[in-house]
């Protein structure tokens, strides 16, 4: 693989780990600047994702062989070079000579890291010989979750479930596709699997836009767990559904396909544009309103309202391995406050005897169950309407003791897991 691929990976890693920039944005910038072939871009992508997925292990591995870290203000990207190089050697099975030479070239090209080239060379040569044995003795689940998440989840779910969640994060997430039940070409692909509810799971998908039916708008990408909150609305044929915080549009597409008249509300212009583009590809129609949920006043009120609220997204770490390292508990509290304002606004849009479904792709109780408990204290005109197993495709393990939806990344673990979601169904009296 080219030096340019490794250089792009290094730039993206630096943006994530030093500037706390989201991985998707960091990779888009780095790959756009590098102008790589599809093969090299894929390699860079793999290095970055696997380095972040295994960051705790790799950090421990590097410190095992380099006990005294070079001072950051003098070393430049030396640590990132070591992390990525160790990832290539231990977890990606890149040939030792290629991985070590690639790291040396990166160091030589940087005015600060060049002074630590002998250190990088020596450390990676040792890791090539001994790294896999050291990694095999590590507590992977514990190391790859930062302390703040390990403590929170152990308290909420218990240590055994927390370990199962952490283990699920280490598996490359498969691609889930909605709307493709009748697409024979997709079902015939290697390693395809039909999940309950008509979601097709592909374990070796390749580039999404190259799959059959993508350009024709035959289907859309949507994790199995993300497809469940819409089911809480029941039969919506011919009814108006207000879909709040609608972009990128997976749930909007579900609602349209179910026969609803959808009013999709999205605040950010760029995200509204993505929503329009996705619906256009799918040849679906919805009324798209660019507005802040807190300012939107529909007339008349709607019988069905869906709020997929902005959140910490800790349920999606299997797809976004940067999240544990760029976020903190403070982000959870900020998201909780915003979601509280949004659900209060959403409640005002619901007609008498109508339904409000609240969902978040978070594992944090403050953003899920506790949010709903506080909402019901403020809004005596609403009551929780518990789910039953039949509504959740017979998967009773996805229903909390209170009757809400609660999925975990370790659910469906043998088949590749699923995102962590919480959703509650609330009926206006």
**Among all chains, which residue has been given the structure tokens 């998908």?**
205
pTM of the full predicted structure?
A: 0.94
Architecture category of domain 223-428 in CATH: 3-Layer(aba) Sandwich (3.40)
Cα separation, 215 vs 226, in Å, equals 22
The reported pLDDT for the residue numbered 73 is 86
Q: What's the rounded Cα separation, in Å, for the pair 399 and 383?
A: 17
Sequence length of the chain is 429
Q: Which residue has the tokens 């998201």?
A: 335
pLDDT of residue 1: 59
The Cα 113–Cα 104 span in angstroms is: 9
Domain 3-138 has CATH 3.40.50.620: no
Strands 220-221 and 175-178: antiparallel
Clarify whether 361 is annotated catalytic: yes
| pLDDT tens-digit profile, the chain (429 residues) | 578 999 999 999 999 999 999 999 999 999 999 889 989 999 999 999 999 999 999 999 999 999 988 888 899 999 999 999 999 999 999 999 999 999 999 999 999 999 999 999 999 999 999 999 999 999 999 999 999 999 999 999 999 999 999 999 999 999 999 998 778 888 888 788 999 999 999 998 888 999 999 999 999 999 999 999 999 999 999 999 999 999 999 999 999 999 999 999 999 999 999 999 999 999 999 999 999 999 999 989 999 999 999 999 999 999 999 999 999 999 999 999 999 999 999 999 999 999 999 999 999 999 999 999 999 999 999 999 999 999 999 999 999 999 999 999 999 999 999 999 999 999 998
**Where along the chain do the CATH 3.40.50.150 domains lie?**
223-428
- Tell how strand 350-360 and strand 382-384 pair up: unpaired
Q: Residue 272: enclosing H or E segment and its boundaries?
A: helix 269-282
Q: Which of 78, 84, 113 is nearest to 98 (CA)?
A: 84
User: Range(s) for CATH 1.10.940.10 in the chain?
Assistant: 3-138
**279, two tokens:** 């619906």
DSSP 145: S
70 with 113: CB under 8 angstroms?
A: no
> Which residues sit opposite 222 in a β-bridge?
none
Q: Which residue has the tokens 């910038």?
A: 29
- Quick count: other Cβ atoms within 10 Å of Cβ 58? 27
87, 311, 335, 361: the catalytic one is: 361
Instruction: For residue 402, give the nearest of 428, 366, 377, 426 by alpha carbon.
Output: 426
Question: Which residue in 176, 183, 168, 182 sits closest to 205, CA to CA?
Answer: 176
pLDDT for res 237: 97
């Amino acid at each position: 693989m080219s030096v340019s691929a490794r250089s792009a990976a290094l730039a993206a890693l630096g943006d994530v780990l030093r500037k706390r920039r989201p991985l998707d944005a960091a990779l888009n910038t780095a790959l756009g600047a590098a102008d790589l072939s599809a093969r090299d871009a894929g390699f860079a992508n793999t290095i970055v994702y696997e380095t972040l997925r295994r960051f705790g292990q790799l950090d421990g591995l590097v410190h095992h062989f380099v006990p005294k870290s070079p001072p950051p203000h003098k070393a430049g990207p030396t640590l990132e070079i070591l992390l990525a190089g160790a990832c290539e050697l231990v977890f990606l099975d890149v040939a030792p000579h290629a991985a070590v030479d690639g790291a040396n070239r990166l160091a030589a090209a940087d005015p600060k890291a060049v002074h630590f080239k002998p250190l990088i060379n020596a450390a990676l040569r040792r890791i090539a010989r001994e790294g896999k044995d050291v990694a095999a003795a590590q507590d992977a689940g514990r190391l790859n979750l930062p302390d703040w998440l390990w403590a929170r989840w152990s308290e909420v779910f218990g240590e055994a479930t927390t370990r199962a969640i952490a283990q699920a994060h280490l598996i490359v997430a498969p691609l889930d596709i909605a709307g493709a039940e009748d697409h024979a070409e997709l079902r015939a692909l290697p390693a395809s699997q039909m999940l309950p509810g008509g979601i097709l799971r592909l374990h070796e998908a390749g580039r999404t836009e190259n799959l059959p039916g993508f350009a024709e708008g035959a289907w859309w990408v949507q994790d199995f767990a993300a497809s469940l909150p819409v089911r809480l609305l029941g039969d919506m044929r011919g009814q108006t559904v207000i879909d709040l915080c609608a972009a990128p549009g997976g749930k909007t597409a579900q609602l349209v396909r179910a026969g609803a008249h959808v009013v999709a509300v999205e605040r950010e212009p760029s995200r509204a544009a993505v929503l329009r583009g996705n619906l256009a590809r799918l040849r679906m129609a919805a009324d798209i309103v660019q507005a802040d949920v807190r300012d939107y006043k529909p007339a008349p009120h709607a019988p069905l309202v869906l709020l997929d609220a902005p959140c910490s997204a800790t349920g999606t770490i299997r797809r976004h391995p940067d999240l544990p390292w760029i976020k903190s508990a403070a982000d959870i509290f900020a998201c909780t406050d915003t979601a509280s304002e949004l659900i209060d606004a959403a409640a005002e849009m619901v007609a008498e005897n109508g339904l409000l479904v609240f969902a978040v792709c978070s594992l944090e109780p403050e953003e899920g169950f506790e949010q709903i408990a506080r909402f019901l204290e403020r809004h005596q005109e609403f009551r929780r309407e518990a789910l039953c197993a039949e509504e959740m495709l017979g998967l009773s393990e996805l229903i909390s003791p209170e009757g809400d939806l609660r999925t975990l990344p370790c659910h469906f673990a043998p088949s590749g897991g699923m995102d962590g979601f919480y959703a509650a169904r609330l009926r206006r009296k």
